[in-house]
A and B are shown apart, each in its own frame.
Chain A
Amino acid sequence: MAVRILYFAWLREKVGKGEEIVDVPAQTRTVADLVQWLRTRGPEYEEAFKRPAVVRTALDQVHVKPDTPIGAAREIAFFPPVTGG
Chain B
Amino acid sequence: MKKTMTLPNIRRYGMSCMTACLWLLSATFSVQASTPTQGVDISKMAFRPGDMTVKPGTKVTWTNRDQIPHTVTSKDKGGVLTSQGLDTGDSYSYTFTQPGDYVYFCTVHPFMIGVVHVRK
> Is B truly associated with A?
no
